[in-house]
Structure 1
Amino acid sequence: MRLVLHSSFCWIVALLSVIGTTEAIAATVPSHPIVAGFERFFTASSTNLVKGGELLLSELRCVNCHDSGEHKERIPTLSGPLLDNLPTRLNFDYLVEWLSKPHASKPGTLMPHLLSGESEQAQKDDATALAFYLFSTSPFPASREAASGSLENGRRLYHSIGCVACHAPEEAFKPGEGSAESVPEQIKIASIPLGNLQRKYSHEGLVGFLLDPVKWHPDARMPRTPMSESEAADLALYLSGGNLGSGLPALLPDRIEKGRKRFAELSCAACHTVGGAGESIPALKAKPLAEINAEAAGCLSDSPPPRLPDYQLSPLQRQAIIAALKNLPQAKPLAAAQRVHRHMLALNCYACHARDGIGGPETGRAVYFQTSGADLEDEGRFPPPLTGVGRKLLPQAIKRIVQGEERIRPYMTTRMPDFGEHHAEQFAKTFSATDLTGTIKPTPRDGNEHLTGRSPWGRELIGTKGVGCIYCHDLNGNKSLGIRAVDLLHAPKRLHPEWFRDYLIDPASFKPGTRMPSFWPEGKAVHELVGKNTARQIDSLWVYLTELDQNRLPEGMEEKGNFELKPTNAPIVFRTFMKDAGLHAISVGFPEGVHIAFDSEQVRWALAWRGQFLDAEGTWDDRFAPLAEPLGTNVLQWPLGAEVGDERQFKGYRLDARGVPTFLYQADTWEVEDTVEPIAGNLRRTLTLRGGSPSKWLGLLSRHHGEKIETLDDRVWSAGAVQLRLVQPATARTAILQNNGSQHLIVSPEFDAQGEAKLVMEVRW
């Protein structure tokens, strides 16, 4: 059941839902700032405090005022939350309360108390002035929306999608099916505090934050968990009780000016930017980190003097920071493995993932990691270990994963969040630099083609008459015959082929306790195919998966007689023998229902059509069948005269992230990139030319035997049933040439300083 809460009843709902808000979430009230990595790895003993102190110096933003100089890689500078659009996000009364007493408002916060040396009244006055200033820099919302959502669904989401890996669970909540433990154990590692979200956010503001926290806190440790707007509304209702928020204040100019002055005096700009007013307030700078006395004084004292930030540090935190300061003169540059470890510490990756025997879900939180695939046991519940992940995953796959773009384990309720592009790029570099070594044996390619695999062998191996991968693994969206492990479709886009080979030979050495057996124990094949040649068998699996969209499903999964290719979620690029496109045809089917065929022998676009794509029977099962023809309707013979150049040589194609191919070829002296893709039921063609003569004209359309090219509008022409519109460049010269009863529409490409020209045109029929 979903609720829609009208404003007149919001206070009732907020009161009734207290059992489901942050008030009821169990957590020991912390007396010091909670940095997750420090709490887990540096509080058990006073050893190794230098690393813990360096972590604190960065996470507490000490180096935003005290420049770390040559140690920026070791102790990076981090920004605080952006202060834009506060009226649409936060409650004014809470902001005043927060600025006057941050540690009382949110125990465990990393925000220092900057007004602690003032009287109670002065603190409130300054905090109010600062709040007025910050609210003045952005427009006020016309109104605030009433809360909507399902409180119970929000409660379930909070305890299942990964929130409690960092934050405290609600004591009264009992995990449901999909977890091995029935009663949670005590949580021993301090949780990252939530604070009073009812007072802090309006419901609308909290929904917006949950959908994209990285937008407002680029350097914070709260990632974006993939969720729908509906789920965000449910979660916000659970966390804040559907609070509409306090009223918006009438802005007072004298208070605003005082707040602006205090913002500068307190050096708030060292951590925060205020962009709504388009102004920049410079930050004040303190002593460089290397010049600070390593002693319990200043910010590090029990009671910092007035005008200095008060972090409420614990004795152990002070000890760790002092140890790090003392070690600074002899600190050496970090190795790649150290950079990985510190990055994972900072982002609290160890809350979910283990690497090199460190981390993984804490015992008290393990019950909240659940699965819908009970047969997979712990492999279906817990996020995978990251030991050797740089050897396993391609750098581009690591980037996608860290940005939350790939969810290949739908049975796992915990969701991989998005930490943003910066962290994704850093992890892609450091994981690869750490885990890829020169000792990895290459796969049998490059001059050893006689050792490589073949797609038909891979199909046989993966099916029920081979090693039976499909008994456990889904394949291209088709359900496995048994338990439902990772879809093998993703393997070529994610994995290094060398890792794929080595993992199949000895899965347990990569993932102790895995249920994955070895069909090549000690490197010896158990299946008779290809003379029990292990290298060729495994490579055949790899080739089959790489060309999966070109191949039949394996035995045990294929429905007999069904050879229709259906591009439902992504384009299908399929080589075939095709009428009007030749024996070297490459057809491209799009989910939008508009398809094309390219003749790679003549190097030209040949056909376009709408509706169904192709039947692959003649390619896969019966070489004596007639040439393939489009299954759809509105078949268009691609316009004559649209070929680039006279002498053409095909050089292959590449796929973009969406699976759309760009065809590459040489045309006369031009290097050509040629892409066609659907747009509003028709097609858009993008040509990129490099090299060649800048003064040469390019053909777009031709008509023969007295037929004419009609000019319909500015840069729009027709030839029979075809219309062509030149979209880019808008200033390119065009002309229609007459020659012995034929007409030719030509264009003069415009080349930039780098010798590149781009033409974009739309083809309608």
Structure 2
Amino acid sequence: MTIPISQAAGHPNFRTGGRMRHLMAGLMWLGCGGAGLFELSASPIVAGAHEDLDPVLAGRVLLSELNCTRCHDGISVSRGAPDLADAGARIDPGYLKEFILSPHEAKPGTTMPSMLGKVAEAERGKVADLLVDHILGIKGPAPEPATEPAPDSVKRGAGLFHKIGCVACHAPEDEAIEGSVPLHRLGEKFTIASLVAFLEDPLAVRPGGRMPKFALTHAEAEHLASYLLRDANPRRTVASDREPTGAGKRWFDSLQCAQCHEPSQSGAAALKDLDSGKSCTTAQYPLSEEQQGWISAALDALDRKLDPAEEVLVEMARLNCIACHQRDYIGGPSAARDPYFTTENLNLGEQARIPPDLTDVGAKLKPQALRRILAGDRIHRPYLHARMPAFGYRNTQRLFELLSENDELPKAEFERVTDRKKARESGHALVGDKYLSCVACHTFNGDSTTTLNAIDLNSMADRLTENWFHLYLRNPQEFHETTIMPNFWPGGKPVRPEILDGDSGKQIDAIWEYLQAGRGARIPSGIRPEPIHYGPQHGEAVMLRRQYRGIGKRGIGVGYPEGVNLAFDAAQCRLGSIWAGPFAEMSGVWRGQGSGNVHEGGKDVLRFPVGPAFATLASLEAPWPVLEEAVKAEGFQFQGYALDEAQRPTFRYSFSGLQIDDQFLDDADGPSLTRELRFDRDAPEALYFRVAAGKLRAGESGKRVFRLGERLELQLSSDGLLRKSAGQSELLVPLVELKSLGITYRFISP
């Protein structure tokens, strides 16, 4: 579309009374020898600036997102441009030259201005080459060779693209939605490898957060890159072999590229002082008539101070929060994008698929929680497919300040429970399935009684303000009209009056006090997580490297097909425990992110003393070295293990230069284990092995058979020594001249 400049000047949205006329003429004038025409290609797309906003606010968003405020101060901070470090590793040189020559043709909708408008047309190619050489010479290698995307990866990437929130800004496949940020000619710009690197950490390249970080795994980034480049016609050009010259840097500075890519002091006129000849005559933005009107309205209202609600809306629009979230009935998914917001759990209603309303969110969330969530550090709604992206702390600082300083709610009036222990006990009862049954919908430490799986109860006190909690529980529908959360205090009257004298405020206070313990709160009635049993299958042993009682996090459990099991301590190179029966119940470590212990499956677990199994003693009266649980034993080096055909391990470790292979085999006539320790050389004379300690007595056959407790018999291949030390019995074996030591651990029927 071409329009004579005289017609543009007379357009109703092209103000004629002063500075706005000059600014817009400068923004759109091509500078091609005074041709008298300018060309409008696809207008720059700023997703947060649209017709739902007041024109003044939409104009402020544009002035910020088009980086006008990099040179001209007068309104809020600008977004900034991509970091050009390592550009050579990401961007094809041929594409980069086309983009510099004509940004809006190479990438319709880009917010990059055409910076070569004042350069003579015959010189533009040469200047573009110099700029490419300078940019690619800043740092970084050439892009990796292009590879073909795998069909399965393309399919997975398509699912991710339409599920996790990409379509909040970009258009879905085969569907044109106005205002979508274009994904144009990506195959000519990126290889799969370079696009994966970008998707994994967009903020490293675009620190302004225009493309936020979605916490993608490496595999997810590969799938998305494969999908986005599925129809690419890869074009790899060779980077210039010329060394970057000062000419490229001079053009980079004179065209003011550094103002956005390497920002410094602007030195330019403030927005309010713009006049003829001082209005970005080196730049060209093909603004639509509507965008022209928005900028005009914003510039004419620069002296007007925005109220806090307007400032919040501008910040949310800049970050495009309003593509997913609503606040004060503004924003939220458009009708065209709504079908792409999905959930794992339809039973929770609309709140399970649509990101939460941000009205009064600064009064809802504690400051530290609000800060983390805005930056994208925490996810509390796992049932939402759309992910909360990370914009980074710097990019969300202003929004955080505005929300936390200005959002207010009425103060909830209530009487506290004086006895806080009684409050916790009452809260524990109320959330359980005998009273209000909060656990029927909400998870508790990730465990649930139903398939609803609403926000975990343990996260609430960490996130929510107490005042919002009281107000919300009194009338949930006042905050969310479509919520399925019931009102347990309709009209201020409790549905369970038998607790705390039926006082609504005290009951809510009790629940809040109970939730203060977070993950340490007592499990409420109704939460009965299914156990996770683990054991040997198909005649092979199984291993589970987790935390065990008496050992710590370096425990290695082994379950044997013949029904006897052990836990080995890799920190102290010792046998930690042994038991007969089922191997393990591991829900504590599986559901608790490794924070709990593996529970041994047998009833009678024999635990061996903490501390090194080998020690050098000056005499038999010398005490055995003392060591705390989970502390590495001095002189020992654990070297892993080898597995036989039945997956039974031989542990390997060394002690003061002595190499030891420690093998455990289950016996068919058990339940028993036969252990063989093999040494690579003769042990020194004063070296002893501690077999066991505790309630020990010698058997009838002398120095090679002993009884530990009532259930375990120990049979040695060499003579053992039973002694009293530190108030308990210890069974030692001197290792002098031994090449190996055999021990059988046999469980005796009661």
TM-score by length of 2: 0.64
- How many Å separate the matches in 1 of 2:632 and 2:172? 48
Match in the other structure for 1:226 = 215
Question: Gapped runs of 5+ residues in structure 1?
Answer: 1-28, 43-47, 173-185, 274-280, 563-567, 573-586, 595-608, 617-630, 638-675, 683-720, 722-765
- How many Å separate the matches in 2 of 1:252 and 1:560? 67
* Change in 2 beyond 3 A, CA 1:39/1:288: same
Match in the other structure for 1:165 = 168
C-alpha RMSD of matched pairs (Å): 3.9
1:414 counterpart (386, 389, 393):
386
- How many Å separate the matches in 2 of 1:614 and 1:155? 36
Q: State whether residues 451 and 535 of structure 1, in contact with CA within 8 Å, keep that contact through their aligned partners in structure 2.
A: no
2:336 counterpart (350, 364, 369):
364
Q: State whether residues 452 and 539 of structure 1, in contact with CA within 8 Å, keep that contact through their aligned partners in structure 2.
A: no
Letter in 1 for 2:236: S
Question: Shift of the alpha carbon at 1:468?
Answer: 0.8
Match in the other structure for 2:117 = 116
Match in the other structure for 1:267 = 256
Letter in 2 for 1:533: D
Matched, 1:313 2:284: no
Question: Gapped runs of 5+ residues in structure 2?
Answer: 1-39, 533-543, 557-574, 578-583, 589-604, 612-627, 635-689, 691-750
Match in the other structure for 1:252 = 242
* Change in 2 beyond 3 A, CA 1:49/1:339: closer
Match in the other structure for 1:531 = 501
Letter in 1 for 2:403: F
* Change in 2 beyond 3 A, CA 1:311/1:560: closer
Matched, 1:554 2:524: yes
* Change in 2 beyond 3 A, CA 1:427/1:55: closer
Letter in 2 for 1:373: N
Question: Shift of the alpha carbon at 1:417?
Answer: 0.4
1:493 counterpart (462, 466, 472):
462
Q: Higher Cα Rg: structure 1 or 2?
A: 2
Question: Shift of the alpha carbon at 1:426?
Answer: 3.2
SS at match of 1:504: helix
- How many Å separate the matches in 2 of 1:434 and 1:632? 61
1:394 counterpart (366, 373, 397):
366
2:297 counterpart (303, 323, 329):
323
- How many Å separate the matches in 2 of 1:428 and 1:589? 45
Counting only pairs closer than 5 Å after superposition, residues 170-249 of structure 1 correspond to structure 2 as 170-171=173-174, 187=177, 189-241=178-230, 246-249=236-239
- How many Å separate the matches in 2 of 1:380 and 1:164? 18
Letter in 2 for 1:543: E
Q: Deviations over 1:438-476 (max 9, x none)?
A: x4136655xx62488522222221121111111111111
Q: State whether residues 83 and 134 of structure 1, in contact with CA within 8 Å, keep that contact through their aligned partners in structure 2.
A: yes
Letter in 2 for 1:58: S
Counting only pairs closer than 5 Å after superposition, residues 282-301 of structure 1 correspond to structure 2 as 285-293=267-275, 299=279
Letter in 2 for 1:541: I
1:545 counterpart (509, 515, 525):
515
Identity %: 34
- How many Å separate the matches in 1 of 2:547 and 2:308? 38
- How many Å separate the matches in 1 of 2:193 and 2:235? 9
- How many Å separate the matches in 1 of 2:401 and 2:437? 35
SS at match of 2:487: coil
Match in the other structure for 2:61 = 55
- How many Å separate the matches in 2 of 1:95 and 1:217? 16
Q: Deviations over 1:601-655 (max 9, x none)?
A: xxxxxxxx98999999xxxxxxxxxxxxxx9967769xxxxxxxxxxxxxxxxxx
Match in the other structure for 2:411 = 440
Match in the other structure for 1:376 = 348
* Change in 2 beyond 3 A, CA 1:430/1:86: same
TM-score by length of 1: 0.62
- How many Å separate the matches in 1 of 2:333 and 2:157? 22
SS at match of 2:311: helix
Question: Shift of the alpha carbon at 1:243?
Answer: 7.1
Q: Deviations over 1:270-322 (max 9, x none)?
A: 1112xxxxxxx9777432322113x8x8758xxx5xxx101112223223323
Q: State whether residues 442 and 498 of structure 1, in contact with CA within 8 Å, keep that contact through their aligned partners in structure 2.
A: no
* Change in 2 beyond 3 A, CA 1:290/1:125: same
Letter in 1 for 2:125: K
Count residues with an aligned counterpart.
529
Q: State whether residues 373 and 483 of structure 1, in contact with CA within 8 Å, keep that contact through their aligned partners in structure 2.
A: yes
- How many Å separate the matches in 1 of 2:551 and 2:181? 48
Question: Shift of the alpha carbon at 1:202?
Answer: 1.9
Counting only pairs closer than 5 Å after superposition, residues 404-483 of structure 1 correspond to structure 2 as 404-436=376-408, 439-441=410-412, 444=415, 449-450=418-419, 454-483=423-452
Question: Shift of the alpha carbon at 1:104?
Answer: 0.4
Question: Shift of the alpha carbon at 1:142?
Answer: 8.8
Letter in 1 for 2:333: P
- How many Å separate the matches in 2 of 1:85 and 1:489? 43
Counting only pairs closer than 5 Å after superposition, residues 569-648 of structure 1 correspond to structure 2 as none
Question: Shift of the alpha carbon at 1:358?
Answer: 0.7
Matched, 1:338 2:310: yes
Q: State whether residues 168 and 324 of structure 2, in contact with CA within 8 Å, keep that contact through their aligned partners in structure 1.
A: yes
- How many Å separate the matches in 1 of 2:425 and 2:475? 24
- How many Å separate the matches in 2 of 1:238 and 1:471? 40
Greater alpha carbon shift after TM alignment, 233-242 vs 549-558: 549-558
Q: State whether residues 466 and 512 of structure 2, in contact with CA within 8 Å, keep that contact through their aligned partners in structure 1.
A: yes
- How many Å separate the matches in 2 of 1:51 and 1:571? 56
Letter in 2 for 1:364: A
Question: Shift of the alpha carbon at 1:31?
Answer: 2.0
* Change in 2 beyond 3 A, CA 1:452/1:342: farther
Match in the other structure for 1:104 = 105
SS at match of 1:526: coil
Q: State whether residues 461 and 515 of structure 2, in contact with CA within 8 Å, keep that contact through their aligned partners in structure 1.
A: yes
* Change in 2 beyond 3 A, CA 1:615/1:82: closer
* Change in 2 beyond 3 A, CA 1:147/1:233: farther
- How many Å separate the matches in 1 of 2:206 and 2:425? 51
* Change in 2 beyond 3 A, CA 1:680/1:116: farther
- How many Å separate the matches in 2 of 1:327 and 1:264? 32
2:157 counterpart (144, 154, 157):
154
Q: Deviations over 1:338-364 (max 9, x none)?
A: 332111011110000000111110011
- How many Å separate the matches in 2 of 1:588 and 1:414? 43
Letter in 2 for 1:230: A
Question: Shift of the alpha carbon at 1:208?
Answer: 1.1
- How many Å separate the matches in 1 of 2:479 and 2:266? 51
Letter in 1 for 2:270: P
* Change in 2 beyond 3 A, CA 1:283/1:400: closer
- How many Å separate the matches in 2 of 1:83 and 1:95? 12
Q: State whether residues 56 and 297 of structure 2, in contact with CA within 8 Å, keep that contact through their aligned partners in structure 1.
A: yes
- How many Å separate the matches in 2 of 1:170 and 1:256? 43
- How many Å separate the matches in 2 of 1:248 and 1:680? 55
